[in-house]
Every structure is written in C-alpha cells, then in structure tokens.
Amino acid sequence: MSDKFDVVVIGGGPGGYVAAIRAAQLGLKTACIDKYINKNGKATFGGTCLNVGCIPSKALLDTSHKFHDANEEFETHGISVKKVEIDVPRMIQRKDEVVDKLTFGVAGLFKSNGVTPFEGTGKLLAGKKVEFTDHSGKTTILEAQNVIIATGSVPVEIPPAPLKDDIIVDSTGALEFQTTPKRLGVIGAGVIGLELGSVWNRLGSEVIVLEAQDEFLSVVDRQIAREASKVFKKQGLDIRVGARVTGTDIKRKQVTVSYTDKDGEQEVVVDKLIVAVGRRPYTEGLLSVDSGVSLDERGFIFVNEQCATDVPGVFAIGDVVRGPMLAHKASEEGVMVAERIADQKAQVNYDLVPSVIYTHPEISWVGKTEDELKAAGEDYKTGFFPFSASGRALAANDTDGMVKIIADEKTDRILGCHIIGPNAADLCQQILISMEFGSTAEDIGLTMFPHPALCEAVHEAALAVNGHAIHKANRRK
C-alpha cells in the first residue's frame, strides 16, 4: 500500500507540527508522523515540548512559585495564611491536565488545517519514500515530494549515573515525583537542572546542584550570571561548580553521589537524583543506509542555512540539527521550510534567537555578550538598570535582578540584551523586536513607556547606555 503527499513530516513536536500546519495552510497535501505514547497509553502529538518538556515543567514552576509566595511572601503584603500545604499528586495531576489540553489542541489544529496524522514511527528511505509503522506493527510506504525531519532530541545519559526506577531519573522522571524529596541532587546547572531544581527547592527540598564546568552559566553574560548565582544562593540552591560526577550507589532508597572538585574526591547523599546534563539529537532508526542524508560528527543531521539536507527535497529542523535546542527555534525553522517548499522566500535570523531560563527571577537574553564582543575585538558600550530601582518591582516586592543592554560604541545599534528579573522573557522580547529592525539604544530611549511598569527598566537601561538614565546614577565616562 502506498500514499502520496506533497510533504511528509517525521516528528510531531513544536518544529514538526508547526511545519505540517503551515505546509497545509499553503495548499500542500501534508502528513505528520509521531510515535509518542503518553503515560496513559494514548498516542499524542506535541513532542517533548508539550508532553514532557517546556509545558509540564512550566506548570510545575508556576505551582511551586505560588506555594513559595504563600509561604514566604504574602506576609510582606499584609496577607496572613495559616498552614499552607502542597498536595504533590494534585500538582502533578494539574500538570497532566495542562498537557492533555494542549496535545488535544494539536490534534484539533491538524483537523482544521487538513493535516493527515500518522501515529507510529517513520523511517526515511531512498527516493523520498517514508516507511511508516503504526503501533500495531503494520507498515505503509508514504511517497513524498518533500520530507521534513523533526525528530527532536532526548536526554543525555551518563555512565556514572545510570537511570534507576524513580530514584535516579532524567528530566521526564523529575516531572512525576509524587512526594517532595527531603534531599534532591541535580547533575547539571543548565536550563533544565536549574528549573527542576527550583521547583523542588520551593516545595521544601534541600537541593544540591553539581555542575562539571568551572564557570556557572557559561553561556550567559558574566554580569547576569554573577547576579543569578547570588540570587539562587539566597533562595537556598546549593550550586557546586567544577563538580564532576564519578559514580553513584543506591542503598536503602538513597543515592550516594561521588564526585571530584578542586578539593579532591567528595560524596553527597540524596533521596532522588536528577540527571540533567543536556540533550542529544534523536535519529535512532530514522534513516536507511541509502537515504542519502548525512550526519555530522556529533550526530546532528547536516543542513545548510535553509535547513536543506544533501538530498534535494529533504529538510531537517529543530533539535536534530545545528544550533540551540529551543522549541521556538524549531517552530521558526518549520515555518521557514514549509514556505520555501511553497516557493516563498523565507529565512530565519539565527543572530536573534532568544534564550530563557524560567527560574524566578527569570533569565533571558538575545544577541551578543560582553565576552563575545571582547573576543571579536569590537568596541561597545553598556547600560544597566536594577529592578530594585523600579517602582513597579518594588510595589510587587520582586526586585531581584537587572536589565542590561549592549550597543555598538560608534553606531549605537543594539548588539545584545541580557535580563535577570521578573518577566524577563517578555521584557527581552521588546529589545529583540527592536534589534530585528536595527534600532539603536537612543531609539529605545526616545520611546515612551507606560508608568508604573516593569518595562520601564528596559527604557532606563537603554538611556543608561549613553549616560542619560533618569532614575539611577549614570557612570562617569
């Protein structure tokens, strides 16, 4: 049996399902294949992001933040709450309800846009044929004019800490704890490690984060990273850098984690251990030997700037290709590829891919850091504004962090924005849009912002670039 399509998408995550919907909107007969089965045994689309990544982790982050506020912050506002308790199973249930609503929504979007869903696995064969195998084992060959590979990524496992039941878990397992661990270990102080560590820290766990790198948040602007380290320490996160895990031992439902640091061999005993050392592209069983698609030395599918592989008509997007593993990057690539297949001129600006860590305060950035500009020998200037000087932040008792803007010394064009603070992701997006249109710091300074609002910190940071900040002292030049 053979079915013919203009576009077959392998993978139904934020890159794949978006690509499929956009292709269908452009009048292309489109199919989307995904093999994910949720914990209730139901096939769902949405990929890691909707099922076990971005969305469920944010649900837990929001619940835990509300619990923390009720316990620690309400009294500051004159609100008295007696004996606040957390029902962890109910929190997990709510997380699942959010996930179900969104994954069901993808199915509805497929139906309304005319995308044909296939529940099972896809394998790319020679000649742009896709072997589809449903969950019962039945095989069908789909013939495609174009194929988009969007199979995403999976958590990296490390030999010193093999996963074990619900004691040593990856990021997926960390979303399913039914009780709050008394002592929680996290291997990796990246986005996933910090977010999951924050969830359980707010709920009462003593959290120890072991980071192999000697520098905390090495991809983040140094000034912002230092501020983050200070804030997280104040919150109670025990972050140990230069800590390289060498082994684990489970006894009496506790994990002894062995690691080395600058002082030699160390041990820490925890009740649960989360392994969050990164993710790797998922390509197992994806490509036949004669498919013509190449992998690079790190296992990513090789593509050009337009996400085209070596095979004409075969594209790859998202976590399975070069660049940051971010849902929004995958989505934009999905739209770009669908539009290019439809002969539209589309492109992704890879210089302006925003990043966010959804701790509290949030951390968000786009563009260049000071270290990158120094290494390139570029002349630049900076301006920053602390949230402690923001009237809106003070009113909300949410004053940790700052906004930092970097601009070219001569042209004043904005080169980067780095924020740690309340609503950092939304505030950073304001500058991202400005950067997309080539704005200068002066342009932002001349723009009117509402008062009182958190976004005034962005305005003041832009003014500070040229020594014109109103609500803080300016640096002498």
471 flagged as catalytic: no
Strand partners, 308: 315
State the catalytic residue, choosing from 65, 451, 459, 471.
451
> What are the Cα distances from residue 244, in Å, to 161, 193, 397?
11, 15, 37
User: What distance in Å separates the CA atoms of residue 31 and residue 9, rounded to the nearest whole number?
Assistant: 6
How far out from the chain centre does Cα 81 lie?
Answer: 34
HEC-encoded secondary structure of the chain:
CEEEEEEEEECCCCCHHHHHHHHHHCCCCEEEEECCECCCCCECCCHHHHHHCHHHHHHHHHHHHHHHHHHHHHHHHCCCCCCCCCCHHHHHHHHHHHHHHHHHHHHHHHHHHCCEEEEEEEEECHHHEEEEEECCCCEEEEEEEEEEECCCEEECCCCCCCCECCCEECCCHHHCCCCCCCEEEEECCCHHHHHHHHHHHHCCCEEEEEECCCCCCCCCCHHHHHHHHHHHHHHCCEEEECCEEEEEEEECCEEEEEEEECCEEEEEEECEEEECCCEEECCCCCECCCCCCCECCCCCECCCCCCECCCCCEEECHHHCCCCCCHHHHHHHHHHHHHHHCCCCCCCCCCCCCEEECCCCEEEEEECCHHHHHHCCCCEEEEEEEHHHCHHHHHCCCCCCEEEEEEECCCCEEEEEEEEECCHHHHHHHHHHHHHCCCEHHHHHCCCCCCCCCCHHHHHHHHHHCCCCCCCCCCCC
Structure tokens at 48: 């890691």
Active site residues: 451
